[in-house]
Amino acid sequence: MPSFLKDLRDLRRRSKGSSKTHETNGSSGNTSSNDGGSDDQPPPNKSSSTLNSFFDHQSPPTTLSSQKSRSSGHLPGLSNGNKTPPAIERPRLPSSQSQRYSLAGSGSQSGDIPRQTPATSPLAPRVVSVSDGSWVHQKVLLIYGEAADLQRPIDGNLNVVHHGDNFPQTQWPVCDSHWKALVYLQPGPNRLRLDFSSPKLSSHNGQMQVHSSWININFLPLISSPPLQLCILVAKDSPETFDAVPDRIQKEGNGLNTAIRKFRMAAYLWQAFTAEQMNRNGFGRRCYRYEEEWQPGSLSWKDMAAGQMRNEAKIHVIKLDKTVQEVRDLDIAQQHGPAKKKGDLFGIASNAVRAYFAPRPGQPQYVSCMFLDAHWDKKEGTVRGHAALGGGDDTIKLAIFGSHCLQSYPSHIEEVVPSFTDCTRTDTNYVANDCNEGGSNWESANIGIGAHLHETGHLLGCPHQESGVMLRDYTRFNRTFISREPFSTRTKQQGPRLCMPKDECAWHRLDIFRFRFHPCFQLPTDGVINPDSSVHVWTVESGSALVTAATGIAWIEMYPEGDDVCHHWIEYVDQTAGPAGTPRQITLNEKDLRERLPEGKRKRKLKLKIFSCGGGDHEVTDFAQLTLKIGKTKLPDGGPGFRSSKLGLSQMDGSHPTEVILGSHQKPPRLLKNIRIYSGNSLDGLEFFYEGGESEVFGKRGGKPGGDDFAMDTRRGEVVVGFYLRAGAWIDGIQVLTSTGRRSEIFGNATGGSGHTLIPPRGYSIAGVYGSVGPWLDGFGLIITR
């Protein structure tokens, strides 16, 4: 044998012996022992410690089923002294699934997961309002659920522990195994631990048991929609205090800083309530947002004590140019007592807010205000310097309210339940609400927070409704946040033993529709909305009418004569697809509409309000008249013509009707060659020129001398298929749309009024135009035919 082969054989023999020696000495922990164990299985004396070290740094395992085979962090078989362990399952990484466990003792004092692997428990809290891993868009989220055994309900406490202790722990009562809680969320993923305990539940050693579960919530703040601004209005000589009884002043103060904290907390309650209502109606937890700023946190009293900085809702403080006495002397017609000027408080607030925010055209501000200097006048029996109003114009959407109930508001999340269960009687020597419906502190909190939310609903476009917040249902506002209601001085009754969803205050379904398509409630995933939000109604054959909307038709409200609020409506909203799933054109038949009404209302005059997904609406004052003679005409060529709904109010001085039938429907027909538009700061008229030199004027020849011409391409058979108009009370501007896809420029005021696209429904074409003219055009509609 060659010498190099002998050397190689000796080297292999020496290497094998060395490896065997190391294995026998146990210095290599990643190889098997000589007892035939698997290479992938750790030795018995290390299996438990290895698994425990994994859980020292990881969340509990994902599923309940995998946990049922484990007890107190040990594997089956090892705790009985077995020398040979069974095969060990590889520990699973945590997922987004909710987990429920039971812990003995007081539980962890931080947001970290317990170091010892806990066992499962059927008594751990269950969240029923939101699924694990959900995405939400507000900082303070309302959650509710169950704990313990519903067959044997018990009372206790629920602790909410935030991951990493990024917010102080909060405690919430559990009543008959039901609970509600407000949780503070940080942007991004939030892992919350819910700990349930009750004196009636104890372990064998006498310690109180803590039953825990985990839930993951993702918070995505929104910055792509306009915010709802929050303002406190202060008179120029104000002492910057609000009404409160001496005990409350001594305990928490009644200065401007306290008012800011209370108003901020009330605003987050509005938001949590509204988001929950949107979700219950099938639209997810979409909600408006607040403008926030980096400031000392006030949503937890522990944050205040520690000086913790947080990003929270900004409360704008606006100084008025009025004195306290001037503000308190102004009253509204709804209130009793002396009043020098009726309704001026809304104007004062509007002017102050307009000067402060300086809104730009097309960028309205949504502002909810509180007058800090409102004051209970015991002698006159009224609240002075307070008005409950909501509304506004195209630049400022405004709600105003007073501070007279502010002392009863919670200042922090920890005070929400105590505030809504505080039965302390109202001391009318110092405080009272405007309707004296709050005989106790918790009822005053309802009136103040709820009535201000009612006015905020008005600024968001909600009218009075048959039920809900917009019909004073806010006297039950507290039930959304508590599980058991105390005695009411208003009803002289004890509240429900359990405040279930059916017992709670609510937004009406029609309010929810308005919110769904409101700019403040839009999400980035909603996509781009057609800027033309208008709705148009077209009379057609057989007593029917066609409705068209470029953004889709959302719903129709029906008002039989005598109904001041809507009791009957038709929904077209697609909850999953949104505007993309709603129809752009529908047919309305009077017989079908009346069959939707109760028997006693079917013969009454019927008014309709039709709403688009873009936020536009159109009112038909009398549907029967629309579908009868008033909407029909006979064309010169003998064909039937149908009038569309009309833009403009036709209310200018000297306004009179005007109409032109296009030459294509004259007898004999004439070819349209040119349209001349007369306009200045508004639309004065149109002149249609035909082959042969004839012309007809719609409106009048005014504005720019000689007008502007838009020639038709007759060689290509180009015809007019519609118009884009800028209109409000009158017609501001117009654009011509043709069959070849051409568009003229917008003649007149291109930014006046709002945009409306008038194109006949499918199967119809333009036969003419009609409307009214005063100093300029103040009415415009189409006459269509098949």
Distances (CA, A) of 169 to 165, 182, 194, 331, 484: 8, 11, 10, 44, 22
Q: Kindly tell me the burial class for residue 38, based on how many C-beta atoms sit within 10 Å of its own C-beta (0-12, 13-18, 19 or more).
A: exposed
Active site residue 89: no
Q: What is the 3-state secondary structure (H, E, C) of 443-471?
A: HHHHHHHHHHHHHHHHHCCCCCCCCCHHH
Helix 509-516 / helix 256-280 crossing angle, nearest 10 deg: 100
Q: What is the 3-state secondary structure (H, E, C) of 46-102?
A: HHHHHHHHHHHCCCCCCCHHHHCCCECCECCCCCCCCCCCCCCCCCCCCCCCCEEEE
* DSSP string over 614-628: TS-EEEES-HHHHHT
Token digits of residue 614: 């873009």
Q: Provide the 10 A C-beta neighbour count for residue 559.
A: 22
Check 326, 415, 455, 557 and give the catalytic one: 455
Separation between Cα atoms, residue 97 and residue 111, nearest integer Å: 18
User: Which of these, 385, 338, 368, lies nearest to 242 by C-alpha position?
Assistant: 385
Separation between Cα atoms, residue 136 and residue 190, nearest integer Å: 11
Separation between Cα atoms, residue 763 and residue 785, nearest integer Å: 9
Q: Do residues 317 and 234 lie in contact, with contact meaning Cβ atoms separated by under 8 Å?
A: yes
Q: Provide the 10 A C-beta neighbour count for residue 532.
A: 18
My answer on whether omega of the bond before 226 falls inside 30° of 0, hence cis, is: no
Q: Dihedral angle at the C-alpha atoms of 518, 523, 528, 533, nearest 10 degrees?
A: -10
Separation between Cα atoms, residue 140 and residue 264, nearest integer Å: 11
The residues carrying an active-site annotation are: 455
